[in-house]
Amino acid sequence: MELQVLQRVIAHIEEHLWEDKPYLLDNAALAKVAGLSVFHFLREFRAAAGLSAADYIRKRRISEIVKRMGEERPMSDIAFEYGFNSKEHFTRAFKKEHGVLPSAYKKAGCSLRLYEPLRLSPACVPPKVSLGYLEEISLTVYPFGDLHPPKCWNLYNTQRRSARLSGGRVVEDHGVMYFHKDTGRLDYFIGIPTKEAAGDREGTVELRFPGGLYAIFETPPATQHEFSAVIRDTWDYIREEWFPKSGYLRKDGYELETYTEASRTYTETIYIPIERKKEHG
């Protein structure tokens, strides 16, 4: 789909996102905005956005509802304005998207990885990048298996697992991931340094995060609702910009994301083990 056409479709979706009028945002209406048949529109939108138009609209509506949860009125009223015809309908959609109930999120007041409008140009602010040798560190973490990482953080934060592990103190949280190249599986863990784990360790395991040479990426500061997009942009930058030009390769092993939820600063630091590319010739 041409960029100008995609921009027109996204603008139309954003203009009518809050209206409970299905005929404005159904596939036929969007195809008409794009000037394509429904068949070609569905195929080209998925290719451009990475998901169907219906899924895109659902994610965007849930994200906008989250931003308005602080209003002094029932959550169900806000959800109704965005096309969810019952509280139960919205609750099911929210839990499917984020892995936690909306009431648990609202009570915790934590950050949530939201889905912002499709960005049609690169991020303006790249992360701060440095290289460093890190010492081995022991981490006490909850294993989440192959659950999508944003949902892991949502569960971890809404259930206040950091405070449970630390005995109530504010400490830096560590998300640890390991990619199994043979199966394509990503295992994810979240926890804190073992030396800080003075509280309840039930359900945790201990991991040794190995020392060595790491590329270190610090995301630019963000607001609570921008945080997800900034993290996603940073990972895109790492994969598409930094590694192809850096002279380094990703080394097999654990990768790490760290930030402090309670600080409300909404920046995180990413650590990736690296090794120099071998020169041929």
Q: What is the CATH number of domain 3-98?
A: 1.10.10.60
Does residue 97 carry a pLDDT above 70? yes
The contacts of residue 246 (CB under 8 Å, 6+ apart) are: 215, 274
Looking at domain 128-276, which of 3.30.1050.10, 3.20.80.10, 3.40.50.880, 3.40.50.720 is its CATH number? 3.20.80.10
> If we measure between CA atoms, which residue out of 229, 218, 217, 28 comes closest to residue 118?
229
Instruction: Report the pLDDT averaged over residues 76-85.
Output: 87
Q: What is the pTM of this model?
A: 0.80
Work out the pLDDT band at 214, boundaries 50, 70, 90: very high
**pLDDT tens readout for residues 193-202:** 999 999 999 9
Does residue 73 carry a pLDDT above 70? yes
Instruction: Report the pLDDT averaged over residues 100-116.
Output: 82
Torsion of the alpha carbons at 215, 220, 226 and 229, rounded to the nearest 10: -30
Residue 201: how many CA atoms within 13 Å on its side-chain side?
13
Instruction: Report the pLDDT averaged over residues 191-211.
Output: 95
**What is the overall mean pLDDT for the chain?**
89
Q: What does the angle CA 30 – CA 35 – CA 40 come to, to the nearest 5 degrees?
A: 75
Q: In this structure, are residues 179 and 188 in contact, taking their beta carbons and an 8 Å threshold?
A: no
**pLDDT tens readout for residues 224-255:** 777 877 888 899 899 999 999 999 999 999 99
DSSP 240: I
Does residue 123 carry a pLDDT above 60? no
Q: In this structure, are residues 102 and 90 in contact, taking their beta carbons and an 8 Å threshold?
A: yes
Give the pairing type, strands 128-134 and 212-218.
antiparallel
Q: Give domain limits for the chain.
A: 3-98, 128-276
Residue 207 pLDDT: 94
